[in-house]
A and B are shown apart, each in its own frame.
Chain A
Amino acid sequence: MIMRITTTLLMLALLILGIVSWVDYEYWLMAPSPSHYTWWWPEEMSTLGQRSDNLFWLILVMVTVMFAITMGALILSIWKFSAKREDKAVFTHGSHKLELLWTAIPAALLLVIAFSQMSTFAAMQFDSSMQDEDGHDLPVLCEIWGSQFDWRFRYPGKDGRFGTNDDFESVYELVMPLRDTEKDHDKKKVIFLLRSRDVLHSFFVPHLRFKRDAVPGMTQRIWMAVDDKQLAEIMGGREDKTFDIICAELCGWGHYKMSGRVRVLPDAEYEAWVDEMTALQFGNS
C-alpha cells in the first residue's frame, strides 16, 4: 500500500511539474527573473523569430496534451491496478483497432508539424541567396570570422568591396543596420558571410533565433533581419541596446570565452558608425 501511494504520488508530481512548468510558464518561470532575462527564452526580435516561436508553441500544445494523456493513463493504471486483488488480470493480446488509432493520430499530428515548419525553414535557409530586381546577389554587410576564441567582423568599408584598403574590422561587436522599409520584410534582410579560421564554431544570437556553424574551409551566406517594432519595444527603454552572440559549438578550451554582442542601428546611425570606424581605421591613436 505504501508503495502504491508513493509511486502514484511520484508520477503525479512529475505530471504536475511537467504541465505547470510549461503551461504556467509566465508565473512560474518568469517570476524568478532578476532582470530582463528569465528562465524562458530571451525576447524575440527578428522578422522570422515569431514564426519559429509560434511553431514551438504549436508543438508545446500538442506535446502537453499528449503528455497529460499518457501520464494520466499511466498514473490511473498504477493506482487502479496495483491494488491487491485475487482475480487474474484481463487476458488480452492487443487490439488492432487501438493500434491503428494510436498510430494514425500521432502520425497525423507529426505530419501537421512537419508541413507547418517547411516554409519557415526554407525562408531561414534559402533566402540568403535571394537576388534583387536586377538579378544581382544582395550585397554582403560583413564577413563574420570565428577563430579561437573571438568573433571578428570585417566590413568592406565605404566602397562595399572586400580586400580593399578601407576594410575595417570590429572585434566583439557586430553592428548591423536596421533597414527601415515599412512592411517589406524582405528588404530588412542583411546578408553576411560566415567563416572560420581554424575549428568549428557556431554563430548563435539567441534574440534573433539564429544559429549556424562556422565551418572551416566553407563560406556560408547567411541572413538575419531585425524587426524594428520588436526592437523598439524591447530595447527601446534600455541603456544597453546590444545583445549577446554566443559560440554554440565546442571550439576548444576557451569555448566559454567566445562571446560577442550585436548592436542594431538605424540606417543613418549605421552610416555614421561606418564613418567613425573609417576615421578610426585611418586614425593615429
Chain B
Amino acid sequence: MATQRLMCLRPLAQCNPLVLSGMLVGVFASCDYDPGHVDPAFSLSESTMTSLDEVGLASSSPQVSGALTTLFGTPQDPHFLITTEMLDGDENPNLSGDYEISEEQWEVIVTDNRSRRFLRQLDLIKAGRFAAVPEPLYAEDLWAIWTSDFAPLHTGEPAEVGGTAVKVDPASAFDDEDLWVPGLPEDGATWAEAAELLFTNWYPSLRESAEMYRVQCLHCHGVEGGGDGPTAEFLEPRPRDYRLGKFKWIAVDNGKRPRRQDLVDILMHGSYTTAMPSFARFSSGQLHGLVDYVRLLAMRGETEARLVLEMADSDSGDLPLGTIESNYTDVWTNWRDADENYVAADVTVPRWDQMSVAEQMTRGEHGRELFMGILANCFSCHGADGRGADAPNLPISLAEVVDADEHEIDPEYEARGGYRWVEKVDAAGRTMKDEDGHALRDLYRIKPDDWGNPSVPRNFTRSIFRGGSRPIDLYRRIKYGITGTIMPAAEVSISDADIWDLVIYVRILANSHDLARVREHKQAALADRHAAEHEHSDSDDSSNANSGDGGQDTDNNHNEASDH
C-alpha cells in the first residue's frame, strides 16, 4: 500500500507546528521589505560582436567596452568624459553655448524649466503646508535636498511659516549653486521662496534620468538604446535604435543629428499611432533630462560603431588612446552642433485658413500635378491615390520583385509585413491571368530602411502623420526628406512655393477622407433627402447619433476614397 510506505514520513509530520510557525514568523519579519532592483549593465551591440568576429578580433571586445565605459560610464553612473580638448575650449558635449563646466559634475546643466509635475509641490508650499509636500517621482536629488536642508520646514520647526529663513546650510546642497539652483535666494529670502525656487528650478542629474529611463523607456528601447527591449519585438514600427544617431522626426537637415528640442517634442507629442506615447505628464525638466540620457546613449552607440571600424581597420586590433578620443570628439561635435543644422526656421507658412477655397483648390491642383509629376515623383511610392503602402497595387519603386521559389524568405521580415504579393497588371490595367484563370502574382520584398524595418510609405488618406501634421512638419518632410528612410530630400529644382502646394495637396487628401467631414456631408445629404421627402423627418435619427449604430456610417469612407 502506498499509504504504508508514506508512514515513514510520519516523524517529519509531527514537527509541523514548529516548521509552520517558523515560516510565518519569516513572513512577518519581511513586512518592512523594500526591494531594490538589479542594475542593468551596458553590453556591446550584436553588430559589434559580429563585425569583430569577422575580423577575428572577438577577444578584443573588452577593449571597446572598456573604452565606452570610460567615455560614458554605466547606467548607474552615466557621464561624459571630459577630454583636455574640451576643457581647454570650455565646450560641453551636452550643450552648445556659453556654459561653464566644472570638472566633477558637468553633466549637470540647467535649462529653462517650466515644470508641470512639481506644480503640486508648489501649491502646497505656497499654501504653507510644507509637511504635506509629496515626494516627486525620479527626483531623488531634489528630495534629498528637500529632506535634509529644508528639514526644519517639513518637520514644522520654524515658528512662523513664511518668516525669514536662516540661509540654508551652504556647505552641502547649494555648494555648487550655479549647478543646482540658479536663482538661489538672497540672504533674507523667506523659506517659502527658497522652497519654491528649489522645486521650480530643479534639473535632474544624468543618474536620475537614467533611472527614469529604466522605468519609462527601457522595456522598449533597451538598456543601450538599441530599440531591443523586451517589449520591442511586438511593436510595429520597432522602437528607435538610438545607436545609429539617426532620428526621423527632426527639424534639421537630412542625416544630421537631432536638436535637443526635436527629441523633447517627440517626448511631448509622442508619435501618433505608434507605441511611442506622449510623456507630457512629466515636468519639462525631467523630459530634458531624459533627452540628455538619450543623447548619451546615442553618442555611445555611434562611438561604439566607429571604434569597431577603427579596430577592424588597424592591423593589430589595438585602439590607441588618440583614436578613441578623436572619434569621441567627432561624435559629440555632431551632437553639440545640431542646432546649427536647424532648417526652415524662417520660412513663412501660408495661412490657408485665411485663403479662399478657390485659391486652395488651385494650389492643391498644382500640388497634385507635382505629386504625379516625374520631378517630385511622390506617386511612385505613395501611389496615385495617396494611399501609400495600403494601396492594393504596391508602388514598384518601393520594393523589388523576388522569386518566391528561390529567394530565401526571412520569416522575421515577413512577419513584419516585409513581403507582399501583388497581382500583375497589364498595360490596360487589367489583372493578368494564367490559363487556369488564376491571377498572376509577384512577390515583392519591401526595401528596408536604415534600421532594417520595411519602409512603409504613409497613407495620406488616414490623416495620420507621425512626425506631426502641421504644415511646417509636412514641409520639412518633403523638403529635407526623412532621415534613414527612402523618403528623399526634395530636388533643389523644386521651389519652396511648389513644396507648399504639395503640402496643401497632401492636406487635401487627408481632409477629404476625414471621418468627421464625411459624416457631416452624409448628414447634410440625409437632411436634404428628408426635406425633399416632405417632413417625414422627426427625432428618430438624432437619437441614433448618441450611440449604438451611430458609428457605422463613419466606416465606409474608405470605399469612397478608392472611388475617387
Bound complex: CA A280 to CA B273 (Å): 22
Q: Judge if B56 is at the interface, Cβ distance under 8 Å.
A: no
Partner-binding segment picked from B330-338, B342-350, B414-422, B427-435:
B342-350
Does the CB pair B273–A197 fall under 8 Å?
A: yes
B273 touches A36 (CB 8 A): no
* Interface set, chain A 27-42, CB cutoff 8 A to B: 33-36
Q: How far is the CB of A127 from chain B (nearest CB, A)?
A: 10
The answer, yes or no, to whether A218 is at the interface (CB within 8 Å) is yes
C-alpha spacing A156/B344, complex, angstroms? 27
- CB-CB under 8 A from B543, the residues of chain A are 126, 129
On chain B, the residues within 8 Å of A215 by CB distance are 551
| Inter-chain contact A254/B275, CB cutoff 8 Å | yes
Give the segment of A67-75, A92-100, A178-186, A256-264 that binds chain B. A256-264
Chain A positions within 8 Å of B351 at CB level: 282
Which A-chain residue is minimally distant from B464 (CB atoms)? Answer: A197
Which residue of chain B has the shortest Cβ distance to A235 in the bound complex?
A: B123
* Interchain nearest-CB distance for A135 vs B (Å): 9
Query: Is the CB–CB distance between B542 and A137 below 8 Å?
Result: yes
B554 is an interface residue with CB less than 8 A from chain A: yes
- A211 at interface (Cβ–Cβ under 8 A)? no
Name A's interface SS. loop
Residue on A nearest B126 in the bound complex, by CB: A239
Does A193 count as interface, using CB distance less than 8 angstroms?
yes
Closest to A169 in B: B469
Tell me whether A220 is interfacial, beta carbon within 8 Å: yes
Q: How far is the CA of A33 from the CA of B555 in the complex (A)?
A: 47
Structural contact, B511 and A253, CB atoms closer than 8 A:
no
A104 CB, nearest partner CB in chain B, Å:
37
B173 interface residue per 8 A CB criterion: no
Q: How far is the CB of B131 from chain A (nearest CB, A)?
A: 9
Give the residue name and chain of the B residue nearest to A172 (CB).
B280
Check: A117 CB closer than 8 A to any chain B CB.
no
Contacts of A193 in B (CB 8 A): 516
Q: Which residues of A contact B132 (CB under 8 A)?
A: 33-35
Tell me the complex Cα distance, A197–B350, Å.
30
Say whether A217 faces chain B, with CB atoms less than 8 Å apart: yes
Report which of B280, B352, B514 forms a contact with A162, defined as CB distance below 8 A: B514
CB distance from B162 to the nearest CB of A (A): 15
Query: B263-287 vs A: 1/0 string, CB under 8 Å?
Result: 0000011101101011011000000
On whether the beta carbons of A259 and B547 are closer than 8 Å, the reply is no
A21 interface hit (Cβ, 8 Å): no
The yes or no answer to A278 lying at the interface (CB within 8 A) is yes
In the complex, A157 has a CB within 8 A of chain B: yes
Digitize A144-181: 1 where CB-to-B-CB distance is under 8 Å, 0 elsewhere: 00011110100001110111111111011100000000
Residue of B nearest to A197 (CB): B273
Contact between A131 and B127, CB atoms less than 8 A apart: no
**Chain B residue at minimum C-beta to C-beta distance from A219:** B551
Closest to B134 in A: A34
| Beyond known contacts A172-B280, A217-B551, A240-B119: 5 more, CB 8 A cutoff | A161-B520, A163-B518, A220-B546, A261-B280, A285-B472
Listed in ascending order, the chain A residues whose CB lies under 8 Å from chain B are 33-36, 125-126, 128-129, 131, 137, 143, 147-150, 152, 157-159, 161-169, 171-173, 193, 195, 197-198, 215, 217-221, 237-240, 253-254, 257-259, 261, 278, 280-285
Instruction: Provide a sorted-by-A list of 18 A–B residue pairs whose CB atoms are within 8 angstroms.
Output: A34-B133, A35-B124, A129-B543, A129-B545, A137-B542, A137-B545, A149-B277, A161-B517, A163-B520, A165-B352, A215-B551, A220-B551, A253-B231, A261-B280, A281-B471, A282-B472, A283-B349, A285-B472
